[in-house]
A and B are shown apart, each in its own frame.
Chain A
Amino acid sequence: MSSASLSRNESRNFYILAALGVFVVFLGYLGMHQMEEHGHIVSGMNNQIVWGLPHVFAIFMIVAASGVLNVGSIGTVFGQAPYKIRTPLAAVIAVGLLSGGLAVLMLDLGRPDRIIVAATHFNPTSVFAWNIFLYSGFFGLAIVYLWTSMEKRMYVWSKPAGFAMFAWRVILTSGTGLIFAFLVVRQAYASALLPPMFIVLSFAWGMAVFLLVQAAMFAWNCKTIDPAILRRMKNLLGLFVISSLYLVAAYHMTNLYFAKQTGFELFILRDGGIYPQLFWGGYVILGSLVPLALLYLPGVGNKSVVAASALVIVGSFALLYVFIIGGQAYPLSIFPGHEVSSSFGDGAIGKYVPSLPELLLGSGGLAIAYLITLIGTRVLNTMPQDVTVVAAKNDA
């Protein structure tokens, strides 16, 4: 086949993939339109569970956006050449994920038409309000970071930009954890462990997303990743998955130790039906132990990196579902030492069944992230060129 027809095929495939993304974004629009037109009555949310499936999608994307840039930070901040080459790709994915996450978060608002009010009426005591600045700063910095890592004249600024990006991301992910940590009355959330837990989770989820995108790009270009580099990245993913497990375990163990929290922990870990099932089956086994086996078992090598990464992402959705929805389903402790009941769900486990519009809205956000990554990687030269690194290493 001639190179011209190869190029034609590639171009055609690109447009097919882009059309697929646009179609899912359109489905997301339909979901959003339903919620906008009829109100949140068409969602599964209610007055006990006010944050639902869209928040699971949005927080996954926002946390992973921060984590995916870890690849860039390891390169620019810690001077690891194979990672430095991957900075532009990481920055493009990060911008895509943050765009998708924020789109879902904004379109799920009761009044998305008033989003400008969030900028004109700023409340300095609200961590939500802080996040508006943290997110917009993240966009700006990520674009500067991308520029300094791609434009030769700007290379000198790459390190300071990398440092700024690193610091910003740590603050941003802490901010996401603090949204929950500041909810002092909710058994599920009021914990100082949440910001560091979110930071470590972001490392694992971001790395998993990066490895998937990288595998797709190399397959697209009919290239193979240098096995030594892939081994390093795979080991790092494993390390992040173990660290995440450790912090999630510490969070639940500390809660179990406090008598007032025991009821909540038993609900999430043992008695809560779908929530313990998702926690143990979805996050611990499928999202952590199986990927670790795929990454570290002798004889598996690099073959299962894609499967392991995909499972880490599946596990992340399971964990967030348990954390966000399970955390609200457990009733507030308004009258400690009393059995309570009312017409407003006091003392009862909140019921929640996700609806189609919510699923469509969340998927639409993922499709925005996918489209930005797809177009970004095509327009910009983000394909990691490992030859130079391998050659340099060989020379050394």
Chain B
Amino acid sequence: MSDIQHDTKTSIKMQPNLDRRDFLSKSSIGLAGLTIAPGLMLFDMAHGKAPGDEVSNKVRWGMLIDNNQCESGCNDCVTACNTENGLATPTKPTDAQWIRKVQLKDNLTHKVSSLPMMCQHCEHPPCVDVCPTQASFKRADGIVLVDKHICIGCRYCVMACPYQARSFVHEVLTDQKTEVPRGKGTVESCTLCVHRIDKGETTACAEACSKAGHNAILFGDLNDPESAISKRIRSVTSTQIRSDLGLNTGVRYEGI
């Protein structure tokens, strides 16, 4: 009896603590995963899209704005842009405005109209030409952006933009959106909601205009002959604002 007891004690002593080992090995794997995963995610984010899926000049994003459909009193596109990009409602001439409603009165016909005005995402953007540090740049898909990390805030691009589409951040910002980096002392403008486009979505202004039932802003790929925007541009008379400058804008208007 005592032998049996002794043997049992010995076998208990000799047997490795499987629970503890199991716990240690599993938690080590978990810990390693937790340590490496954010790095892998950052690596993945840094490399952006998968090969073949990256930004390419096969696409040229643009918008066609139908001035006849744009309601004079409606400001939904402006509000949507401000909300999407974390911009405060402008109250001062120092406040940033990425999109604004412009009221027009033809000097000859006295026809009154209104249209949204923003960065025109030119093929030959003057802001990119004059920027001393290449902070202003054009993506392969035609979107004109500002690299907030290398903008020195000289405002030469603001001087060069024919559309008064750029704003300088005059004061400290709070409550920024993580997907829309901004910063005091740098220049910014409409990004064509690049963070939405990269997820396959449309721009906030176009979405808001549709929701309001006006459908005045048509967003799409100007390079795709089958896209709605290309078909519409082929079928109606559209204009580029200050087309005399030869900038080949990505934003077109009809009805002005």
Using a CB–CB cutoff of 8 Å, the interface residues on chain A facing chain B are 38-41, 45-48, 50-51, 109-112, 114-115, 117-118, 121-123, 125-129, 132, 179, 182-186, 328, 332, 334-335, 337-346, 350-351
Contact = CB atoms under 8 A, between A and B. Distances in A.
- B95, B159, B168 — most chain A CB neighbours (10 Å): B159
B102 A123 contact: no
Contacts of B191: none
Contacts of A337: 106-108
A338 B106 contact: yes
A185 B94 CA distance: 22
- A39, A51, A186 — most chain B CB neighbours (10 Å): A39
Contact of B167 (A41, A47, A109, A122): A47
Contacts of A40: 94, 168, 170-171, 185
A63 to B, nearest CB: 18
B104 A340 contact: yes
Contacts of B185: 39-40, 109-111
Contacts of B97: 47, 343-344
9 contacts: A41-B170, A46-B92, A111-B186, A185-B242, A335-B104, A338-B104, A342-B103, A346-B164, A350-B93
B241 A335 contact: yes
A121 B102 contact: no
B245 A128 contact: no
B132 interface: yes
B245 to A, nearest CB: 7
Given A128-B131, A344-B100, 6 more contacts: A39-B169, A47-B97, A114-B151, A121-B134, A179-B156, A346-B102
Contacts of A111: 151-153, 185-186
A182 B16 CA distance: 81
A47 B171 contact: no
- B107, B152, B160 — most chain A CB neighbours (10 Å): B152
A109 B163 contact: no
B104 A123 contact: no
A122 B186 CA distance: 18
B206 interface: no
Nearest to A327: B159
B168 A110 contact: yes
Contacts of B93: 46-48, 345, 350-351
Contact of A109 (B100, B130, B150, B152): B152
A112 to B, nearest CB: 8
A183 B171 contact: no
Contacts of B160: 182-183, 185
Contact of B102 (A109, A128, A341): A341
Contacts of A128: 130-132, 154, 156
A40 B158 CA distance: 15
Nearest to A331: B164
Nearest to A36: B185
A332 B158 CA distance: 12
A179 B171 CA distance: 26
A332 B241 CA distance: 13
Interface in B124-140: 126, 128-135
Contact of B152 (A51, A110, A185): A110
B130 A47 contact: no
A123 B94 contact: no
Given A111-B185, A125-B129, A342-B117, A334 B242 contact: yes
Given A111-B186, A128-B156, A339 B104 contact: yes
B253 to A, nearest CB: 10
A344 B116 CA distance: 12
A350 B172 CA distance: 23
Interface in B202-256: 241-242, 245, 256
B104 A121 contact: no
B131 A123 contact: yes
A344 B131 CA distance: 23
A334 B164 contact: yes
A50 B170 CA distance: 10
Contacts of B158: 47, 50
Nearest to A328: B159
Nearest to A127: B130
Given A125-B129, A129-B132, A340 B103 contact: yes
A292 to B, nearest CB: 33
Contacts of A38: 171-172
Contact of B186 (A51, A110, A112, A127): A110
A345 to B, nearest CB: 6
Contacts of A118: 132-133, 152
A45 B92 CA distance: 11
Contacts of A48: 93, 164
Interface string B137-148: 000000000000
A109 B101 contact: no
Contacts of A343: 90, 97, 100-101
A38 B184 CA distance: 9
Contacts of B152: 109-112, 114-115, 117-118
Interface pairs A-B: 7 shortest CB-CB: A110-B153, A110-B185, A128-B132, A46-B93, A185-B162, A50-B155, A129-B132
A47 B126 CA distance: 17
A324 B95 CA distance: 22
Contacts of B100: 342-344, 346
A341 B72 CA distance: 12
Interface in B75-101: 90, 92-97, 100-101
